[in-house]
Amino acid sequence: MGAGHAHPLYRAGDSVVHRLPAHVKIVVAFVFVLAVVATPREAFAVFGLQFLLLVGVWTVARIPPGWLAARALIEAPFVVLAVLLPFFATGPRVEWMGMSLAVDGLLAGWNILVKGTLGVLVSVTLAATTPLRDLVSGLSRLRVPSMVCVIATLMLRYLEVIAAEARRMRLARVSRGHDPRFVWQLGATVRSVGALFLRSYERGERVHLAMLSRGYTGTMPAFTTASASTATWSVALVPAVAAALLALSGYWVW
């Protein structure tokens, strides 16, 4: 995976956040997400303050909120679940605009929505400021098992290759006058998925043989990663520690 290879979620920049070592950002993101998950669902103000911490990071990293919002739509299925919970949950109910909503369902839906949204935004922020190569090297520096790093490297590298293959297959099908768009034409799509699987499997075998012929022994070449000083860790951990303190305050203050 070349140094110039970038993923769609990466937004090139030269901010302080971009220059932080990858393993530091991974730890910060992990602690921040843990703090969000640990926050009581009734502590509404805490979630707002945690979101403001993220806004501060985006400001320093010079990432437009609209750019982040468009890429956070991946959580749309969870939003649907959160919206439906108040209607189907049991327990005490309240009336709102002629609708009967369960109180527990409202809280559960809010819990899923706010924690899922903040978690996705943290993940997108990490991806937006860290190239793929640095993410994998950061995991390796954090002593993640080498096999996990190898799988992540190959998966991230060849995901785009497989997606490009799928686009070529669709283009070939459309150019021959077949573009299934209805349920009764689903068979063609299923056959295309099967063909894509076979092609991907064969490509994987060829890639593996090519790696073995070049001396691959089961571990990827070691990536050189910049070390982080105590001062770097201290500054980088400020948002995560603040989020954790806010989560703790949710149990006593709010």
User: Into how many domains does the chain fold?
Assistant: 2
Average pLDDT over residues 135-161: 82
pLDDT at 254: 57
User: For residue 76, what are the domain limits?
Assistant: 2-138+227-252
pLDDT at 83: 82
- Considering the domain architecture, whether residues 65 and 179 belong to the same structural domain is answered as no
Look at residue 220 and tell me if it is in a domain: no
Look at residue 168 and tell me if it is in a domain: yes
- Considering the domain architecture, whether residues 27 and 44 belong to the same structural domain is answered as yes
- Considering the domain architecture, whether residues 34 and 127 belong to the same structural domain is answered as yes
Q: How many CA atoms lie within 13 A of 153 on its CB side?
A: 23
- Considering the domain architecture, whether residues 125 and 192 belong to the same structural domain is answered as no
> Of all residues in the chain, what percent carry a pLDDT higher than 90?
33
Which of these ranges, 70-74, 81-85, 166-170, 176-180, has the smallest mean pLDDT? Answer: 176-180
Look at residue 23 and tell me if it is in a domain: yes
Look at residue 7 and tell me if it is in a domain: yes
The pLDDT tens digits of the residues spanning 56-90 come to 999 999 999 889 888 888 888 778 878 887 887 77
pLDDT at 3: 42
- Considering the domain architecture, whether residues 12 and 88 belong to the same structural domain is answered as yes
Look at residue 218 and tell me if it is in a domain: no
Query: pTM for this one?
Result: 0.77
Average pLDDT over residues 111-134: 92
Is the per-residue pLDDT at 6 higher than 80?
no
Look at residue 247 and tell me if it is in a domain: yes
